[in-house]
Structure 1
Amino acid sequence: MTAQARGRWSGAIVLGVALAMLAACGAPTAESARENEAPAVAKPAVHPWTLPVGAGSAQPDLAVSPDGGLLLSWVEPVGEGRHRLRLGRTSPLGEGNAWDAPLTIAEGDDWFLNWADTPHVYALQDGSLWAHWLRSTGPGRMDYGIDLVRSGDGGATWTAPRLVHPAGTRGDHGFVTFWPQARDRLGIAWLDSRQKAAVGGHEGHDDGHGHGGGAAMMLRAAVHDPQAAQQGEWPLDASTCDCCTTSSAMTERGAVVVYRGRTQDEIRDTRIVRFDGMAWTAPRDVHADGWRIAGCPVNGPVVVAEGGTVWAAWYTEASGEPEVRAARSDDAGDTFQPPVTLAKGTQVLGRLSLALGGERLLAAWLEQAEDDSQRLVLGRYDLHWSEPERIEVATVAARGRASGMPRLAWAGDAAWLAWTDVADGKPLVRGATVR
């Protein structure tokens, strides 16, 4: 073989080896392909959450304290016609979630109890705890008001109850929402029937059809100082639905409150107002669904916020069947994007709760199962209400209104839920966590 031939042969060998190496890099083995796959996303797991409650417990409320712990309140019977409001508190969830010994906030035999209009508990940055319940205030069955109390020592003692509306006011007052107006000041909004009562019409809302007398229920708000004294009180909307829950959140431009409005034509859509610390905006629709219903559906909207972004969700039957809708605002509630549907169909009961956590939105609601039981459902979404994920949290044995209003909170990288069920013929608050 000549020198020239040997050179060509050697070059061919080098080129062949190089091509083989490139081919090996371009065609990975099954093992290397598996190594390059994106890690599987773990499916959310539902775990039972043991609560410090007993038989007869009902009407739960759930809130996150500034230190990252959870506050759970509930009502329980303590004798014939007598009830007490109890409070359970966990340590910050990064340090474990053990319950402190439950405390009694208040006790009475003149309370007004309602499956939808339930007591609330709240914690402010200064360490104070706040709570409310409903108390009978007049001769009529539907004459009742909102008692508000504050504790500055972790719940060991509480201030004397103060009505948030003028004493002696006839009619019903309830469906409260709280927000932190300042480090040591509480904001509160509620539905108020004083103008209905003034013309003799306040037949009530426990049947879901409280409307009459030519006047409507209204939305009012107030701020309370560190002594629990009222600093200011405002009328926000002169015509609201009679018995739908309200909800509030803090934006960079102030507190927003969402509620169900009411027009003269009985259109009952979700509205929003905002408080900048000095004045309230005029009511505006989150979305003009156009749901006409001559009675209260007892199914109010919910809201969360971060910075200038507001997310709202609500129940409607404007399309002709039950539906849960949601929308996002990027200007602190001035305008909202077109709504999206989270759930739709005859099985949807609503009774919404909403939380923001882990860069996701979480919405909980109830559905009716085929066997007449109920399902507690948790939906998880990205911050634009897309990428839906449905999680069935629990089957609820309670029927109809006995399941009350489920509660949802986000803390310690998990969703926490509490709701009213039935066990051995008695109400019982149950809980679950979803991670």
Structure 2
Amino acid sequence: MLRSAFVSIVTAFVLIATSSFVAAEPLQFVILDPPVGLDPQEPTLFALNDGRVVMSWTEPDGDGFVVKMTVGNFSGWTEARTIVRSNDLFINWADFPSIAAFPDGTLAAHWLQEDGDGPFAYDVNIALSADEGRTWSAPIVPHQDGTQSQHGFATLMPITENALISVWLDARAYKKDLFSDPASELPDAMQLRATQLTSDGILSEDILLDAQTCSCCQTSATVLSDGDVLVAYRDRTDTEIRDISVVRLEDGQWSKPSIVHKDNWKISGCPVNGPAIDALGETAVVAWYTAANDTPAVKVAFSKNGGRYFDAPMRIDLGEAAGRVDALMLNEQTALITWVEWQEAGEVIFACQARIGEPCGQQQTITVNTGAGSVNFPRMVQTSDGVYLAWTQPAIEGSEQQNHKATVRVIFARF
């Protein structure tokens, strides 16, 4: 059985949090059973103020797809509730829907809706729910350009009691010369853009944050204790250097982009491998994948001054990194990082606790995937009780799901 096989290979850790230390001890995660249907994929998680989590995912639905959600915790889940059902959803393994919650309890979910005949003509759609997903508002499109072009890799991040920011990659200027060097041979430029949305559906101006970014890496955002916002993404230069940058929202103004670290990864195509950022107090952490100098690696860098400057990065992988990172600050000294790596046994989800100035003491195996598919982009979230981790689990031969393509796996480790 898949469950027993999974339990036998899971290694986890107790997270004993104090103001300055997090200890790691071996422990098996609790395996949870969310109410997913047949062949679900790409789960995302968000922590609610009451200690529960909300999860969204995508399932096939006739000739189309449906985006669903549930609310729950280690004790159980609500029934699956439909966010949107359509034959025109844009479905992609790396660019997928998400869900978030305003502090006032309003849920916000985003998905991608096809718009036009082009293979990458799609829009970000956001809907709101005031009743935990039982009903949803009409979709709101955060970008206001009206072009039939790519709009995706969005992040929703609540920043006040009744407002969130939405950031996304935007192709409105694709194949237009926006590069700083007029003689550049690069034919196109993706943009990073942002807007704010209130819980009653009021949309602010669509703002340009960076006119020249990598085209298909996930974005990530976090809020500092002073209310400032940090957004991490993969940048792009005229010479095809694609390292990780951050921009900062402070007193209502966005900063210019700044590089987290100069890996100097030169690559002529998008690696489809975005960074993850999180913060606690004034400490921020960024995790990312790079293959600079033909060396695939997962790196972590801390900032002790709210993301204005990052320390030298630490490499945490075991040598065969595939990336697809996530990051959580456990306290102001320690971050929990997950990533995917190829090992002889298969595709492995690893986790470790990195401390400021100290690399991971031990890389711990979460699961080894031997199915005919990928775990794609595992996602974490932290509550007052512990850590939840979810991913797409391909069917494994001999398992109870072997007649289907995949399921969603969710696990929990209590503090």
Q: Is the 8 A contact 2:298 2:315 kept in 1?
A: yes
Offset of residue 198 of structure 1: 5.5
Corresponding residue to 2:297 among 299, 303, 323: 323
| 1:335 match: secondary structure | coil
Match of 2:110 in 1: 132
Q: Is the 8 A contact 2:222 2:230 kept in 1?
A: yes
Is the aligned partner of 1:143 residue 2:121? yes
Identity of aligned residues (%): 34
Corresponding residue to 2:252 among 278, 296, 305: 278
The letter of the residue matching 1:428 is: T
Runs of 4+ residues deviating >4 angstroms: none
Match of 2:386 in 1: 414
Corresponding residue to 2:353 among 380, 392, 402: 380
| 2:174 match: secondary structure | helix
Tell me the distance in 1 between the aligned counterparts of 2:356 and 2:100: 26
Match of 1:426 in 2: 405
| 1:416 match: secondary structure | strand
Where do 1:120-269 residues align within 5 Å? 120-166=98-144, 168-196=146-174, 214-251=187-224, 252=226, 254-269=228-243
Tell me the distance in 2 between the aligned counterparts of 1:385 and 1:311: 13
Corresponding residue to 2:32 among 45, 49, 58: 49
Number of aligned pairs? 378
Tell me the distance in 2 between the aligned counterparts of 1:385 and 1:299: 24
Offset of residue 43 of structure 1: 2.2
Offset of residue 118 of structure 1: 0.8
Corresponding residue to 2:55 among 72, 77, 85: 72
Corresponding residue to 1:403 among 360, 375, 382: 375
Match of 1:119 in 2: 97
Is the aligned partner of 1:83 residue 2:62? no
- Please list every run of 5 or more consecutive structure 1 residues that lacks an aligned counterpart in the other structure: 1-39, 200-211
* RMSD over aligned Cα atoms: 2.2
Q: Is the 8 A contact 1:418 1:429 kept in 2?
A: yes
Alignment TM-score, normalising by the size of structure 2: 0.86
Offset of residue 86 of structure 1: 0.6
Q: Is the 8 A contact 1:66 1:124 kept in 2?
A: no
Match of 1:392 in 2: 365
Decide whether aligned partners of structure 1 residues 128 and 148 sit closer, same or farther in structure 2, where only a CA change above 3 A counts: same
RCO greater where, 1 or 2, for CA within 8 Å and sep 6 or more? Answer: 2
Decide whether aligned partners of structure 1 residues 41 and 281 sit closer, same or farther in structure 2, where only a CA change above 3 A counts: closer
Match of 2:42 in 1: 59
Where do 1:326-345 residues align within 5 Å? 326-345=300-319
Offset of residue 51 of structure 1: 2.1
Match of 2:6 in 1: none
Tell me the distance in 1 between the aligned counterparts of 2:331 and 2:411: 18
Structure showing greater radius of gyration is 1
Q: Is the 8 A contact 1:407 1:419 kept in 2?
A: yes
Match of 2:398 in 1: none
Deviations 1:371-398 (A, max 9, x none): 5x31111112335454523221111234
Q: Is the 8 A contact 1:253 1:332 kept in 2?
A: no
| 1:429 match: secondary structure | strand
Q: Is the 8 A contact 1:397 1:421 kept in 2?
A: no
Tell me the distance in 2 between the aligned counterparts of 1:198 and 1:152: 41
| 1:230 match: secondary structure | coil
Q: Is the 8 A contact 2:175 2:189 kept in 1?
A: no
Offset of residue 217 of structure 1: 0.4
The letter of the residue matching 1:418 is: A
Tell me the distance in 1 between the aligned counterparts of 2:242 and 2:331: 33
Offset of residue 301 of structure 1: 0.6
Tell me the distance in 1 between the aligned counterparts of 2:212 and 2:176: 15
Decide whether aligned partners of structure 1 residues 385 and 50 sit closer, same or farther in structure 2, where only a CA change above 3 A counts: farther
Deviations 1:61-99 (A, max 9, x none): 01111222111110001112x111111111xx5xx6311
Tell me the distance in 2 between the aligned counterparts of 1:176 and 1:311: 20
